[in-house]
């Protein structure tokens, strides 16, 4: 049964206060307190708030996330302080530690392998296949000509449409064909550009079929299903790597020498190459770093994640995105990941803090940003796997977790100090920390 007081028509037309009023009265026990709390996150500057509201719909407040920085990232000899938006404790600390560690060992070396993006026009064609394939060069020429007004600016910046292919998908789905289109979008992520061009191609192909002799008698059998970019960009890939002599890994662990550490580390990465269960968690660690920078720079983390995971399955099995080798005592650790990001357009130039993030990074091109993001992903992966094969992950995590619980329980500075010593050897849980604080507070009474 529909709960009538919880549904509404015309919600989007209400003012922001009106929206909050309806929400707090229908969903919360303490409307006044919730209203105060929600409105307390409104930006103090009305113009800035308008910008934020403009990114979405039905906005009632802002959702704050921590914005941290990881300094000391040396990438191809340049030093960066990397902005990271993430809500998980120890991610920024791990990135900073790994950055510092590799700064002393030559830093990260990164290379953009390719920057091509893909879009598809999916259409049905019931006419003879040869009519399409035999005339495809002419069709292609006409499509390219029709999109000139859309591509002119991008071409001026050195980009545009790089190729169009006709793909026959009829063996998978009846009458289905695709135009697989390739794009260079320079410093923009390019979603709007690509989608506009593809939609133009759809209408142009329809017109071509309707007016061209031999095609027009089959025009009833032509139907555009959809025109949309693909977030799978296996030809927009960056590589980040670190390397050093195994002797330089001496001291990473109290229990293992450099050679032993390197071997354990490589085995952990190899496990993630062969086992999808481990690979998923391993790659999640990589995306802890990647997503944090993608978010901080106003890029689309859903697109980046979706693409990264497809890429991790490119040979038919889901595998780690990073690799490790030890040859002649040289430890090498590297990551290859597709990253379709932009540094102009979209949120990157509208979100006030995303703009600052890019400034902090020295106003990088999209290719430079790809390299910074990949290095952060690799640093994160190094930090996580290093912990896993040495102390275990809980040690670092639990310290942060402990701090969060202490904060939540309003521990004093003195109590925090005592708790840090106590929980060095004890298991951290909300209950154990509360009991610890309670017993101390009891004694005081």
Instruction: Give me the 84-113 binding string for ligand MEV, x by CB under 6 A, dash otherwise.
Output: ----x-------------------------
Sign of CA dihedral 270, 276, 277, 281: positive
Helical pair 191-211 and 148-156, crossing angle rounded to 10 deg: 150
Q: With respect to ligand MEV, which residue has the nearer C-beta, 343 or 381?
A: 381
Q: How far apart are CA 221 and CA 208, in angstroms?
A: 13
Q: With respect to ligand MEV, which residue has the nearer C-beta, 118 or 324?
A: 324
Q: With respect to ligand MEV, which residue has the nearer C-beta, 81 or 388?
A: 388
Is residue 84 within 8 A of residue 376, CB to CB? The reply is yes
Q: Supply the minimum distance, in Å, between the C-beta of residue 32 and ligand MEV.
A: 37
300 tagged catalytic: yes
Is residue 224 within 8 A of residue 206, CB to CB? The reply is yes
For 96-143, the three-class secondary structure string (H helix, E strand, C coil) is: HHHHHHHHCCCCEEEEECCCCEEEEEEEEECCCHHHHHHCHHHHHHHH
Q: With respect to ligand MEV, which residue has the nearer C-beta, 191 or 268?
A: 268
Instruction: Give me the 236-275 binding string for ligand MEV, x by CB under 6 A, dash otherwise.
Output: ----------------------------------------
- The residue of the chain with the least Cβ separation from ligand MEV equals 285
Q: Supply the minimum distance, in Å, between the C-beta of residue 278 and ligand MEV.
A: 8
Query: Residues 6 or more apart from 294 whose CB is under 8 A from it?
Result: 300, 301, 304, 341, 373
Number of neighbours of residue 68 by Cβ within 10 angstroms: 17
Helical pair 366-389 and 276-296, crossing angle rounded to 10 deg: 140
- Residue of 43, 355, 397, 422 with catalytic role: 397
Give the footprint of ligand MEV on residues 368-397 (CB under 6 A).
384-385, 388, 393
- Residue of 25, 37, 88, 168 with catalytic role: 88
Q: With respect to ligand MEV, which residue has the nearer C-beta, 82 or 139?
A: 82
Told to check if 140 binds ligand MEV by CB under 6 A, we report no
Instruction: Give me the 280-309 binding string for ligand MEV, x by CB under 6 A, dash otherwise.
Output: -xx-xx--x---------------------
444 tagged catalytic: no
Q: How far apart are CA 377 and CA 369, in angstroms?
A: 12
220 tagged catalytic: no
Is residue 376 within 8 A of residue 255, CB to CB? The reply is no
Q: Supply the minimum distance, in Å, between the C-beta of residue 281 and ligand MEV.
A: 4
Q: Supply the minimum distance, in Å, between the C-beta of residue 243 and ligand MEV.
A: 20
Helix ranges, 344-429 (H): 352-360, 366-389, 394-408, 413-422
270 tagged catalytic: no
Report the catalytic residues. Answer: 88, 284, 300, 397
User: Which positions lie near ligand MEV, rule CB under 6 A?
Assistant: 88, 281-282, 284-285, 288, 384-385, 388, 393
């Amino acid at each position: 049964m529909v709960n009538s007081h919880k549904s509404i028509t015309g919600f989007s037309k209400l003012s922001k206060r009106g929206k909050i009023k309806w929400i707090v009265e229908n969903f919360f026990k303490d409307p006044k307190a919730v209203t105060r709390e929600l409105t307390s996150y409104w930006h103090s500057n009305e113009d800035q708030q308008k910008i934020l509201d403009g990114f979405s719909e039905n906005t009632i407040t802002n959702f704050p996330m921590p914005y941290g920085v990881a300094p000391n990232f040396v990438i191809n000899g340049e030093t960066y302080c990397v902005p990271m938006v993430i809500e998980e404790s120890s991610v920024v600390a791990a990135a900073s530690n790994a950055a510092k560690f590799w700064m002393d060992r030559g830093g990260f070396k990164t290379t953009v392998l390719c920057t091509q993006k893909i879009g598809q026009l999916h259409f049905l064609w019931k006419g003879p296949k040869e009519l399409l394939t035999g005339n495809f060069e002419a069709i292609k020429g006409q499509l390219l000509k029709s999109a000139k007004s859309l591509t002119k600016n991008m071409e001026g910046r050195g980009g545009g449409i790089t190729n169009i292919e006709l793909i026959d998908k009829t063996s998978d789905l009846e009458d289905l064909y695709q135009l697989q289109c390739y794009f260079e979008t320079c410093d923009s992520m390019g979603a709007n550009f690509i989608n506009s061009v593809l939609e133009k191609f759809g209408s142009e192909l329809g017109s071509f079929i309707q007016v061209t002799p031999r095609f027009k008698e089959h025009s009833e059998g032509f139907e555009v299903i959809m025109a949309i970019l693909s977030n799978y960009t296996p030809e927009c890939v960056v590589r980040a790597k670190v390397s050093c002599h195994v002797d330089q890994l001496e001291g990473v662990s109290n229990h293992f020498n450099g050679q032993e550490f390197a071997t354990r580390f490589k085995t952990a990465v190899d496990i993630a190459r062969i086992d999808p269960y481990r690979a998923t968690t391993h790659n999640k660690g990589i995306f802890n770093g990647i997503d944090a920078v993608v978010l901080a720079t106003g890029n689309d983390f859903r697109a980046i994640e979706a693409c990264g995971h497809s890429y991790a399955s490119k040979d038919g099995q889901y595998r780690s995105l990073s690799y490790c080798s030890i040859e002649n005592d040289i430890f090498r650790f590297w990551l290859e990941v597709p990253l379709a990001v932009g540094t102009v357009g979209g949120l990157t130039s509208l979100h006030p803090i995303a703009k600052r993030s890019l400034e902090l990074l020295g106003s990088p091109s999209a290719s430079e940003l790809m390299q910074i993001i990949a290095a952060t992903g690799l640093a994160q992966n190094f930090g996580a796997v290093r912990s896993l094969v040495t102390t275990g992950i809980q040690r670092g995590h639990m310290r942060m977790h402990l701090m969060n619980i202490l904060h939540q329980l309003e521990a004093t500075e003195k109590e925090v100090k005592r708790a840090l010593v106590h929980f060095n050897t004890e298991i951290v849980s909300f209950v154990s920390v509360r009991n610890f604080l309670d017993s101390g507070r009891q004694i005081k009474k």
